[in-house]
Structure 1
């Protein structure tokens, strides 16, 4: 399965097969990753070198510690990323957005409701598609104007799920007394 991993802002293309072979940006590697005792600690065997990883889940991704170095990692299915690029969200002129289903799926969980304020890249809902849970995020700072879906609802590609009204951020030269 192909993934796009953003590691501290750098995108890497990763392809994982069932035999444990990993292709990382075109370079084939042999890897084995195993959880240690059901905790957040993992053992990674990569090209016959052993690493211990501590992985902490955060909204939208993971914080990974390897040998004392910390990395911020976001992972996305390559097909989902491509579908999002083809029309999973539409921005309006005021900086808001209309979030539409990037593919058919099942709404698993709503993370916000109408009237909530959201930050850019904040999780808005969880959509299950192709047996994977995908977090749909806000592309902008804004106010959730409407939520057109409920948990358990099936959506089709292009269905409007959430409307976010953009909030203009104050500029440094704005006069608060005006």
Structure 2
């Protein structure tokens, strides 16, 4: 499978730093193709707003037009594997743009976590037991921390074929996983 596209150009990172654009990318990842009208229905935003933000995502190379379906003009992601931001201190604005995108992404994802926690009382026992909040602290070198991140991503790869509905086992649901690997400041 293709690797995630690495983005370190500040203007492309900033193009993602909008809550509706992040949501639209998520939706396109889930549905493969959507029209602006379908995006509006799924987000509660106006068709005009969705159209504008879809065009911005196209301008910066994240999505493209799919084959027309009659009068419908759907959009689709350029890549199914998603994107990874790369901080490049030699690219002016790269660090600041990545920090802003990380803040917005974490805020949006944490809202989903809280919504899931609020629904726990309505979930069947099997999904109660499958729901986890994990927190850990370890001592590692930068190289070990990077390797840990690679190992975690490798675990996710075995589920990627399931974006195709025919590959999903009965009873499966979209499961969200949010993890961070970051260091504390060095101790003096």
Fold similarity call, TM over 0.5: no
**For this structure pair, what is the TM-score category when the shorter chain's length is used for normalisation?**
under 0.3
Greater helix content: 2
> For the pair shown, which has the larger CA radius of gyration, 1 or 2?
1
- Higher RCO by CA contacts (8 Å cutoff, separation 6 or greater): 2
- TM-score, structure 1 as length reference: 0.27
- TM-score, structure 2 as length reference: 0.26
Greater strand content: 1
